Amino acid sequence: MSPVDGPGISNPSLPVDPALTEGRAPDRPAEEIPELHEVDCPPDLRERIEELMARYPDRRSASIPVLWEIQERYGWCTPEGIRQAAAVMRFTPAYLESVASFYDLLHTRPVGRHKIAVCTNIACWMRGADGLLEAFREAVGDDTEEFFVTGFECLGACDIAPMASIDQVYYGPLEAAEAGVAISQLRAGEEVLPDKALSKRGLAGDS
């Protein structure tokens, strides 16, 4: 069996999202729009969702921003969170599930608190991304509660290859040994790899 004959993914370094292959077996009907009193939506979340919907000519456009909001609040797009959003937005939970499951950055299963995506695409691969990903996985071990490490398709930072996005901040170019450093810094609550943050780099032509 080839590596792609498994659960239907193309890149063995990427995680398999069970939601895509197994479904989520909702305990309540996903095709009915829940009423607000049924979902226990925190008032500030409701306010935020309404604010996001008001930014667009059509409230449906707020789907992705709302799912981001749910994910930031609950750590991932939980079925309860999706029902809360569905009740406020007046969409079915199934609809929001279908949107969430399409996008790589929206998680439809629990993931670790710190999210680390190592780019394994062409330019990073040429400069040692596979070793970097392995180093992050080793440094994290089985601590999936705290960390979610995954390979990722091109993150748009080939200039700092090999690189990683750690809690949505770009770092590179990274040596494999720096993976362990970054993980200890995250564990200790320290600033992560201060010298390697993309935002601190100058223009390539000026160096």
Asked if 45 and 69 count as a contact pair (C-beta separation under 8 A), the reply is yes
| Contacting range for other proteins; rule: CB under 8 A; set: 34-42, 49-57, 139-147, 177-185 | 49-57
Interface positions, 7-26, toward other proteins (CB under 8 A): 9-14
The Cα 74–Cα 108 span in angstroms is: 11
Least distance to other proteins, CB of residue 207, Å: 7
Nearest alpha-carbon partner for 23 in 98, 117, 89, 110: 98
Distance (Å) of CA 33 to CA 42, 87, 88, 89, 91: 18, 6, 9, 9, 6
Chosen residue from 32, 102, 110, 194 binding other proteins by CB under 8 A: 102
Q: Does 177 bind other proteins (CB under 8 A)?
A: no
Vertex 43: Cα angle to 37 and 48 (nearest 5)? 120
Q: Does 61 bind other proteins (CB under 8 A)?
A: yes
Least distance to other proteins, CB of residue 55, Å: 5
Chosen residue from 30, 45, 82, 157 binding other proteins by CB under 8 A: 157
Q: Does 74 bind other proteins (CB under 8 A)?
A: no
